[in-house]
Amino acid sequence: MIPPDLYGRRRRDPFWVAVSALFGARQRVRYLRPPAVREIRPVDRTMDLVVLEVRPRADGVVSLRLGAPDGRVLPSWQPGCHLDVLLPAGTRQYSLCGDPADRRAYRIAVRRLHGLSAEMHALCEGDVIRVRGPRNAFPFLRGDRYLFIAGGIGITPILPMVTAAERLRADWRLIYCGRGRDSMPFLDELAGERVRIRTDDEHGVPDCGDLLGDPEPGTAVYCCGPAPMIDGVRAAFGSRADATLHYERFAPAPVADGRPFRIELRRSGRVLEVPADRSALDVIKDELPAVAYSCRQGFCGTCRTRVLEGEVERRSPSDGDDGAMLICVSRAADGRLALDL
Ligand code: FES
């Protein structure tokens, strides 16, 4: 409401009339103007980190603490996050297994398995490596009751989840399996009656149905480990609706219902046959070992490749129809594809 003028007269004060007119015009102009289109730029989360510490954790397993060369604070992360480590020979993902509250260092653990992990094991304190992330493909959701099932190096994403569950004062249990105690990292950080350590040499190969048991309604089951363990837990979990199952694979799932197809690599002039039980990436890798890939499960996007011809059968929700495809999971819909490789 416009107030009376300075002398208390009941007519509209010319000063306030002018201010209202100006303000009203500005509002009108604002609403008439089309909304500004903000340019969305992809965030580059690539950074160089220095190895602060290398520590043996079990037979064939070392942990690495990584920090910024200038000691600055690192991007935050949540339990379940991983880093892509970009090495000359390729990219690999490693779960963050330290404390998210420590903003000066990330901790990862590496089991020596293949060429890239050997490169990781050769790192020394002071070496600098390039990483991308952190990214989360295995989110930990707040809840009241958890069952964690970890196999071997699969303990890495589970470790910060256990800490988070403890901080939430949730009702949690962990079953940690491995071949033998010598091969199981971070046993020294896991103790108490909520933790059950189960080794093949003491108890035999586990039955996944026994590991899962009959979780109470409302339990969130988090499982990470070798593919047979995950497949077994998934099969035992079935379609029950009173609990939830979350899992992360370290190895890609076998190809299901695949049909053979042919791929033409236009840049390198090769034609390859992809059998029903292999991915395009696996076949291409045999010919072009430097082809980019990381998760091999269709979620990181590293292997996205331009499609020059042919129809794609998309096998991942992350594989958008943008003239490219994730060659680690998606396949040809009509028997043939031409790729920009
Ligand atoms: S390698 Fe990650 S999406 Fe294909």
Could you report the per-residue pLDDT of 102-122, keeping only the tens digit for each?
Answer: 999 999 999 987 667 888 999
Tell me which DSSP letter residue 4 carries.
Answer: B
Provide the whole-model pTM. 0.71
Query: 37 lies in a domain?
Result: no
Task: Report pLDDT for 31.
Answer: 46
- Distance CA(52)–CA(202), nearest Å, equals 36
List the CATH number of the domain containing 183: 3.40.50.80
At 73, which amino acid appears? V
Question: Looking up tokens 């103790």, which residue turns up?
Answer: 191
Query: 281 CA to middle of ligand 1, Å?
Result: 9
Query: 293 CA to middle of ligand 1, Å?
Result: 5
- % pLDDT > 90, the chain: 65
176 shares a domain with 159 = yes
Query: 21 lies in a domain?
Result: yes
In a mutational test of the pocket of ligand 1, which residue from 82, 296, 339 has the highest number of ligand atoms less than 8 Å from its CB? 296
Quick: pLDDT tens for 264-285: 999 999 999 999 999 999 999 8
Task: Report pLDDT for 6.
Answer: 46
Quick: pLDDT tens for 16-75: 556 555 555 455 544 445 445 454 455 678 999 999 999 999 999 999 999 999 999 999
Residues with CB under 6 A from ligand 1: 293-296, 298-303, 326, 328
**Which residue, by CA, sits nearest to atom 3 of ligand 1?**
298
CB under 8 Å to 149, separation ≥6 — which residues? 174, 175, 177, 211, 212, 221, 222, 223, 224, 225, 229, 233
Query: 334 lies in a domain?
Result: yes
309 shares a domain with 235 = no
Query: 175 lies in a domain?
Result: yes
Query: 39 lies in a domain?
Result: no
Question: Looking up tokens 């992990």, which residue turns up?
Answer: 117
298 phi-psi bin (left φ>0, alpha ψ -120 to 50, beta other): left
Quick: pLDDT tens for 174-227: 999 999 999 999 999 999 999 999 999 999 888 999 999 999 999 999 999 987
Q: Quick count: other Cβ atoms within 10 Å of Cβ 251?
A: 12
The mean pLDDT of 282-304, rounded to a whole number, is 81
131 shares a domain with 160 = no
Task: Report pLDDT for 151.
Answer: 93
Query: 40 lies in a domain?
Result: no
Range of the domain at 50: 46-136
156 shares a domain with 243 = yes
List the CATH number of the domain containing 85: 2.40.30.10
The two three-digit tokens of residue 85, written as one number: 């480590």
Q: How many domains does the chain have?
A: 4
Beta-strand ranges (E) seen in 154-313 are: 171-178, 195-199, 220-225, 244-249, 261-265, 270-274, 304-309, 312-313
200 shares a domain with 290 = no
Query: 256 lies in a domain?
Result: no
98 shares a domain with 74 = yes
The two three-digit tokens of residue 199, written as one number: 């080794």
77 shares a domain with 114 = yes
